[in-house]
Structure 1
Amino acid sequence: MDCIFCKIAQKQIKANIVFENERVLAFNDLFPQAPTHILLIPKQHYSTLNDVPATEGAVLGELMTTAAQLATELGLAESGYRVVMNCNADGGQSVYHIHLHLLAGRRLTWPPG
């Protein structure tokens, strides 16, 4: 498999890692869309949200709670932040390894795009 996020999780490609445990890795986005733009990925590969079996759904909760934990640690929780997960081409997914975007540091507008 030629997945860039798997390679980052396996430390074959360098990334500015801000959090890691046995299941989740978080790192700064190379092309930030906000002053804070962190990507959170499960270390296990799932191409899209549609590919996560119900039996593995806990990883989705861990991505969300880790995003909230990082927002709190970075002093962003009170002013606000956004978490986004894109699914497939029309949803804006460009890397086919599920990932959560944590965006903060400026007023975010709606609709997103």
Structure 2
Amino acid sequence: MMDCLFCKIVNNEIPADIVYQDDKVVAFMDINPQAPFHALIIPRKHIATLNDITVADCETVGHLQWVAAKLAAEQGFAEDGYRTVFNCNSHAGQTVYHIHLHLLGGKPLGWPPYQDTLKVNLNN
């Protein structure tokens, strides 16, 4: 946990553009946005991956989703739609090992999310 980038944000050791915080979570703008609004919502408690969530963490993880809906409404794109995404481990694109919920909105979002890099062989 000592070297965790997101723990350092939670502990105010490094700056972030914080858009929401409470006793359970911190939300801040992504430094590499993929939409007009792209925030990361993280628990204050260090949990490395989704695989590490315990029953005791369920309320906090649900709270991440609640905060995403609240921010989407405050930013004015809840009715048009938005995307929330958790990535788990390297094959899913997780690069910081502290769970974080991506909230993306403010424009139409295509599917699949990574159309340009998606290479699927349906015959295998």
- Give the TM bin, normalised by the shorter chain: over 0.9
Find the aligned partners of 1:2 and 1:18 in 2 and give their Cα distance: 23
CA deviation after TM superposition for structure 1 residue 36, in Å: 0.4
Residue 64 of structure 1: aligned partner: 65
* Aligned AA (2:93): G
| TM-score scaled by length of structure 2 | 0.89
Residue 78 of structure 2: aligned partner: 77
Residue 12 of structure 1: aligned partner: 13
5+ residue gaps, structure 1, are: none
RMSD (Å) for aligned C-alpha atoms: 0.6
5+ residue gaps, structure 2, are: 115-124
Find the aligned partners of 2:23 and 2:55 in 1 and give their Cα distance: 20
Over alpha carbons, which structure has the higher Rg? Answer: 2
CA deviation after TM superposition for structure 1 residue 54, in Å: 1.4
Residue 121 of structure 2: aligned partner: none
CA deviation after TM superposition for structure 1 residue 92, in Å: 1.0
Which runs of structure 1 show a deviation greater than 4 angstroms over 4 or more consecutive aligned residues?
A: none
Find the aligned partners of 1:39 and 1:12 in 2 and give their Cα distance: 17
Find the aligned partners of 1:70 and 1:46 in 2 and give their Cα distance: 22
Q: Is the aligned partner of 1:33 residue 2:29?
A: no
Give the match's secondary structure for 2:67.
Answer: helix
* Aligned AA (1:7): K
Give the match's secondary structure for 1:19.
Answer: strand
CA deviation after TM superposition for structure 1 residue 16, in Å: 0.5
* Number of residue pairs the alignment of both structures matches: 113
Find the aligned partners of 2:14 and 2:52 in 1 and give their Cα distance: 24
Give the match's secondary structure for 2:38.
Answer: strand
| TM-score scaled by length of structure 1 | 0.98
Give the match's secondary structure for 2:41.
Answer: strand
Identity of aligned residues (%): 54
Find the aligned partners of 2:92 and 2:32 in 1 and give their Cα distance: 18
Find the aligned partners of 1:106 and 1:56 in 2 and give their Cα distance: 32
* Aligned AA (2:18): I
* Aligned AA (1:27): F
